[in-house]
Structure 1
Amino acid sequence: MDKLKKVLSGQDGNNDKVDILEVASQASTLSWGTRVKAFAASFLLGVVCSILGSCLLWVPGVGLALFAVFYTLGNVCSLASTMFLTGPLAQLKRMCAKERALATVVMVTCLVLTLCSAFWWKNNGLAVLFCILQFLAFAWYGLSYIPFARDAVLKVFTFCL
């Protein structure tokens, strides 16, 4: 009876705490070489999708929708590619860090709004505007990983104005 009580209360003699995220991380562990290859493949797929989307922009009738889908898919693949290097949980933590949170929110919002404007609202101008904002937010997000890069960009723009 004591053994049953211990098992039901979680004290079955096994003092190791099982963390679901840790188990998932251990189960999906990739070698460094595999991670780099997956990063390169995902990033290359993102670049190809973005270029393909830009080329499909000029297709009459459905060009804008194809552009929005492929350009957005390209940005998502490029962003997801870094998860192979750092791991998904670490990447999500970095994306939500104080210095990147605003850029992440703007980028994800623009990703969604691009697709909404192409499919639901069918507004070509808004879709292109949101693609431009996607690019700017993605660039600002990427600059946050380079020390003092954002400050340098801001100084250049204030100097030009």
Structure 2
Amino acid sequence: MDKLRKALSGRDNSEEQEEERGNIITQVIDSNSLSWSTRVKGFAICFILGFLFSLLGSALFFLPKGTVLFAIFYTLGNVMALSSTCFLMGPVNQCKKMFAKTRIIATIIMFVALIMTLIAAFVVHKKGLALLMVLIQFLAMTWYSLSYIPYARDAAKKCFASCVDV
């Protein structure tokens, strides 16, 4: 079909070669991009798996020596939920937005807390420290997520301030 289109268009070979070279980046992006429905399905699957892993990790915490399993599954759940947005906006764009000026502190705290949760469970074997790191993970992930909603951080600050000022 392409040969028929080229023959009917009347263009010579040199014009086609220059056009192909100029559009190689566009062709690579087009051939590797996912359709919108595939992106939404990938997002939903990763997000649901992340939620289920976090829930499973929370349930495993109460087993004897469940701290390690808790840390693994809860952290894996958060990573899955965070990476689910890569399906919607692409991994490069996701990384750019994660390290934007408004989110960089929350992103760094979140990654440090993810790593420290695993260290607390595997190396130190302290349930209290693992719980503290999970709490920091949760707060950093919440603060990071609120940055995507206009004025949500301001509303959260005012809500927290009104709860503290009793």
Assess same fold via TM > 0.5: yes
Q: Which has the higher helix share?
A: 2
Aligned-residue offset at 1:125: 1.0
CA distance in 2, matches of 1:157, 1:92: 29
Aligned to 1:38: 42
Q: What secondary structure sits across from 1:145 in the alignment?
A: coil
TM superposition outliers: structure 1 runs of 4+ over 2 Å? 13-19, 22-28
CA distance in 1, matches of 2:115, 2:28: 29
CA distance in 1, matches of 2:28, 2:61: 40
CA distance in 2, matches of 1:39, 1:69: 21
Name which of 17, 22, 38 aligns with 1:16.
22
Q: 1:24 to 1:93 in 2, by over 3 A?
A: farther
Name which of 50, 65, 68 aligns with 1:65.
68
Aligned-residue offset at 1:122: 1.3
CA distance in 1, matches of 2:86, 2:135: 24
Name which of 131, 146, 152 aligns with 2:149.
146
Q: 1:119 to 1:25 in 2, by over 3 A?
A: farther
Query: Considering only aligned residues, what root-mean-square deviation do their CA atoms show, in Å?
Result: 1.8
2:92 matches 1:92: no
Name which of 48, 54, 75 aligns with 1:50.
54
TM, length-normalised to structure 2: 0.82
- With 118-127 and 48-57 compared, the bigger mean Cα shift is at 118-127
CA distance in 1, matches of 2:147, 2:72: 26
CA distance in 2, matches of 1:24, 1:60: 51
CA distance in 2, matches of 1:36, 1:52: 24
CA distance in 1, matches of 2:27, 2:136: 38
Aligned-residue offset at 1:26: 3.9
CA distance in 1, matches of 2:153, 2:101: 14
Number of aligned positions between the proteins = 146
Aligned-residue offset at 1:28: 2.5
Name which of 112, 136, 139 aligns with 1:109.
112
Q: Read off the aligned partner of 1:44 and give its amino acid letter.
A: I
CA distance in 1, matches of 2:29, 2:60: 39
Aligned to 1:29: 33
Aligned-residue offset at 1:16: 3.5
Q: What secondary structure sits across from 1:130 in the alignment?
A: helix
Q: Read off the aligned partner of 1:120 and give its amino acid letter.
A: V
